[in-house]
A and B are shown apart, each in its own frame.
Chain A
Amino acid sequence: MTDKRKTNIKQKLISLLPIAALLVLFAAFLAVVSINGYRLDMYLKIVFNEALVLVVVATGAIFIYTLGTFDISLGASTLFAATMGVMTYNNTQSLILMIVAIFAVGITASLLNSILASVFHIPPFVTTVAMMSVLSALSAQIITSYGGALGGISIPSEVVKPFDNIGFKAVLLIAFFAICFFVFQFTKAGRRMKFVGGNPICAELTGIKASKYTILAFVMAGIGIGLGAFLTLCYTPSVTTTTASSIGMNIFIAIVFGGMPISGGARSKIYAALIGGFSYILLNDILEIGIDSSAAYGITQVISAVFFLAVVYVTSMNYRTALLPR
C-alpha cells in the first residue's frame, strides 16, 4: 500500500471517528441501561428529549462557529425567548402569537449580537458576553416578577401537549437540520461563511462581505434558538431562571465531540451538531447512570472534560500534518 493511500485511509478513519464514537457511546448506553435493569424505551426517550434542544440550538450555532467566533449567550437567548413566549401566551392566550414571539425574540437577540459587533467593529463573541448578562438579567427580572413564590412562569401544559411527542419533534429536528445542511453545503452563503472563518482578510479581498455573512450566521443561530426555546416549552411548559442555563457551554463541547474544528473555517461540518449533541448527552447519561454516588456530578464533569480533550487531540491529527516548508 502506498504512503499516499495510507495517509488517505488514516484521514478518512479520523474523520469517521465522531460517528464511531457516537455508535460506541450508544452501545455503552444500551449496556448500562440493561445492566441496571432500567426500561430502555423510557431512557431512550429521555436521551432524545435532552439532546433535542441541544442539537437544534447547536445546529444553528454551527454557522457562528464556522466564522471562527462563538456565542456564549445562546443559553441566555434561549431562556429569554422561552420567557417571552410564556409571557405572550399568558397575555394573549394565543399559541400562534406565542410561537411568533419566541422566534422573533430568538432571532432578534441573536441578530443584535452581530449588528452591535458590526457597528462597534468588535469581535461578535464580545457582544455575546454582554448580551448574555443583559438577557439573563431581563429573564430573571420577568420570571421573579411574574413567577412569584413559585420561582417560575408557565403556560398550561395542554397548550403544548400536542407537540410533546417524539414523532413531531423528530420531524422538526430533521426539517431544521435539512434546511441548515442545505444552506451550509449548497448555497454560496454557506461556502462564503466557511471562507470567512478560514481567513477573513482573504475573504474580504475576494469580495466577500464578512459583516453580511456574520449577520446571516446569527440569523440562522437565532432560528435555532427560537426552535430550541419552543421545544423547551413543549417538554416542560414552565420557565425558571435556570432553564437552558448550561446550553451555551454544552454546545461548545458537543460540536467539538461531533468533529467541528474550534477555529471554524473550511473544515467546519454541519453534522457535528447532530452527532456531537447526541454523543454528549449519551456520555452524560451513561456516567450518571453508571456512577451511583454523591460525587456523580463532579465525576461526570471530569470525565467529560477528559473526553473533550481527547476528541480535540484526535480530530486535530487530521489536519495537524507535518508541514512541508517551502
Chain B
Amino acid sequence: MNKPVLEMKNISKRFGSVVALNKVDLAVYPGEIRGLIGENGSGKSTISSIAAGMQKANEGEISFKGNRWEPASMIDALNKGIGMVVQESGTIGGISVAENMFLAELGSFKNKFGLVDKNKLERKADEALKSVGITGISGRDAMGRLDFQDRKLVEIAKVIMKNPDILIIDETSTALSHDGRQIMYSLIRKMRDDGKSVIFISHDLDEIMEVCDTLTVLRDGNIIRTFEKEEFDADAIRSSMIGRELKGDYYRADTECTSLDEVVLSAQSLNYKDNLKDVSLELHRGEIVGVGGLASSGMHDLGEALFGALKLDSGHVICGSGKEILSPHNAMGQKIGYVSKDRDQKSLCLDASIKDNIAIAGMNIFKNKMNLVTSFGEKKYVKKQVDELKIKCSDMDQAVSQLSGGNKQKVVFGKWIGCGSEILILDCPTRGVDIGVKQAMYQLMVKLKNEGKAILMISEELPELIGMSDRILIMKDGEITREFKRSSTLSEGDIISYMI
C-alpha cells in the first residue's frame, strides 16, 4: 500500500472539560475517499478541523506528505494542500462572491494604482466557479443575497480552486440540492481519479456508503473501527456509531394516513416573486404534512410564508381561528412555531445560553402573577425542556454555540414545544444531526402528532418524507406539482419525477 498522505498519531483535543478527541490515530492515503461518521459530538469535525489548520491539537503528531504538519491557519493549510468546507456557513455576507473567494489574496489583484482590480477579481471568480461546474452564480453577486446552498457551493469552489491534495467536506450535502450534490460528488471523484484524497463527513449513511472507499467510525472522541468498502454494512456501521442497538421505530411504524378533520392552518393562493406560484394547502390537527422538492423549488420560502415572515405578493395564510397570519409575531400569537433550515442564523442566538434561547418564546407561560420574569420560573421551565429532550450540556447556562448540531436543534425544538405551539413548521429539522438524534426527533414528532399537534415538515430527504408524513406535497418551480398520501407502497421512485 502507498504511504499515507496524511498521518495523525495520538491526537487529543480538549475543550474545557469536554474531551473531543482521545488519542486518535488516522491515516489517509492518496486516491482515497475516506468517510468519517459518528454521532454529533463524536469528534469527526474536530479531527478534520485540526488537519485543516482551524485549531491545534493538545497532544499528538501530524505529518502531511511526509513532513511535520503545523499549519498556522486554515488559509495556510489550504495554500499548503489541505482545504476544508465547514459545516456551517464559512462565508461573509457583506461582500461579493469574488471577494469571498479571494479574501486572503486580494493584494494580488491590485492594479497599477494600487487598488483592487474588481473586474479581474470577478473574472477569476467566474472562471473558478465555472471550472467546478457551478452555473447561476457570478463573482459579482453579493454573498448575502445567495441562499444557503449557493453559499456552500461558493465555499466548495473556493477550496477546489486552490487544487488541494486533501479536500475535507464537513456535513455539507444536507445543505445542497440534488444538483448541488451531483456537482460535489463529481468533484470528489475527480480528486480521487487524480490521485488526491477526500475526507468526507456526513450523517447520511446511504450517501457515505455510496461515495466513500473507506469509512472510519468515531464515538465519544475515539475511533471505533475503520471499514473497507467490501465490509460496508449499514447495521454494523450504525451499531459502531452509537454503541448500542437503535431501539424502537426509526420512522413512523404505521402506514395509515391519519389526522383529524379540523383545519388548523390553510394557505390560499400564495404568490411570492417566482418562488411561490398560487400555492394553496391545508394542514389538519394531528397531521404531519411533508413538503418536498429541490432546494430551489420554493419550499423553504413556503415555510417562511406560512409563518408570516415573507411579505407575499398576494394570497393569505389563515389559521384555524380564522385569523390571518401577517407576521411572525402574529403567528406566535396563534401558537405557531417555526424551525428554520438555517439554524445558526435564524433559529438560535448563538452567544446566548440554552436557557435564554428556550425561555425567550415561553415567557408568557412562566411569568409570575405580577407579569415578571423570575429566575425561578425560568429555570424550572427550561429544565423541563432540557430533561425531556435530553439536551447534552454542562448546564442550562452553557452557550448554545458550544453545543453540537443535534443538541442545538433540540434547543430550537425546546423553544417551540415549551411554549405550547400547536402548529410546527419544521424546515429540514434533521439537517446535520446524527442518526440517534434523528430517531429521537422522529419519535418526538409522532408524539406531538398523537397529542393533536399539526406539523408541516419541509425536507430534502425523501426517505424522511415518506417515513414520517401523512401527506407529501411535492413542489417544483414554486408550484405544488403533486400530492401523495401515506402508503406502504410509496417509494422514492414514485416521487422523484415530480421534483425534477
Contact = CB atoms under 8 A, between A and B. Distances in A.
A2 B86 CA distance: 31
B309 A205 contact: yes
A32 interface: no
Contacts of B363: 188, 191
B15 A322 contact: yes
Contact of B16 (A3, A186, A190, A319): A3
A267 B351 contact: yes
A263 B54 CA distance: 24
Contacts of A5: 17
Given A188-B373, A204-B328, A265-B349, A325 B360 contact: no
Interface stretch (B315-323, B331-339, B474-482): B331-339
B328 A206 contact: yes
A4 interface: yes
A39 B265 CA distance: 74
Interface in A274-326: 319, 321-326
Nearest to A267: B351
A204 B346 CA distance: 9
B360 A191 contact: yes
Given A265-B349, A266-B356, A326-B41, A204 B361 contact: no
Contacts of A187: 371-373
Contact of B352 (A201, A205, A209, A265): A265
B342 to A, nearest CB: 9
A195 interface: yes
A160 B129 CA distance: 71
A7 B14 CA distance: 12
Interface string A1-19: 0111111000000000000
A269 interface: no
A99 B415 CA distance: 45
B177 interface: no
Nearest to B201: A326
A203 interface: yes
B46 A326 contact: yes
A95 to B, nearest CB: 35
Interface stretch (B100-108, B289-297, B396-404): B396-404
Interface residues on B, range: 35 or more
B20 A199 contact: no
A6 B16 CA distance: 8
A198 interface: yes
B73 to A, nearest CB: 14
A234 B371 CA distance: 37
Interface residues of A, number: 37
A325 B351 contact: no
B469 interface: no
A325 B361 contact: no
Nearest to A191: B373
A204 B46 contact: no
B347 A205 contact: yes
B9 interface: no
A198 to B, nearest CB: 4
B402 A202 contact: no
B348 interface: yes
B309 A192 contact: no
B394 interface: yes
Contact of A198 (B328, B352, B402): B352
Contacts of B360: 191-192, 195, 203, 206, 208
A158 B402 CA distance: 59
Interface string A255-271: 00000000101110000
B374 A186 contact: yes
A202 B332 contact: no
A321 B402 CA distance: 9
Contacts of A7: 16-17
B14 A3 contact: yes
B121 interface: no
Given A188-B373, A192-B360, A324-B15, A202 B349 contact: yes
B108 to A, nearest CB: 29
A326 B373 contact: no
Interface string A163-199: 0000000000000000000000111101110110011
A35 to B, nearest CB: 43
Interface of B: 14-18, 20, 40-41, 44-46, 49, 54-55, 86-87, 170, 307, 309, 327-333, 338, 340, 345-353, 356, 359-361, 363-364, 367, 371-374, 394, 399, 401-402, 404-405, 415
19 contacts: A4-B17, A7-B17, A185-B373, A188-B363, A191-B359, A198-B350, A198-B351, A202-B347, A205-B346, A205-B347, A209-B327, A209-B329, A321-B16, A322-B15, A322-B16, A324-B15, A325-B55, A325-B86, A326-B404
Given A323-B402, A325-B45, 9 more contacts: A195-B352, A203-B360, A207-B329, A207-B331, A263-B351, A266-B352, A321-B399, A322-B16, A326-B404
Interface of A: 2-7, 185-188, 190-192, 194-195, 198-199, 201-209, 263, 265-267, 319, 321-326
The 4 closest A-B pairs by CB, nearest first: A4-B17, A207-B332, A266-B352, A198-B349
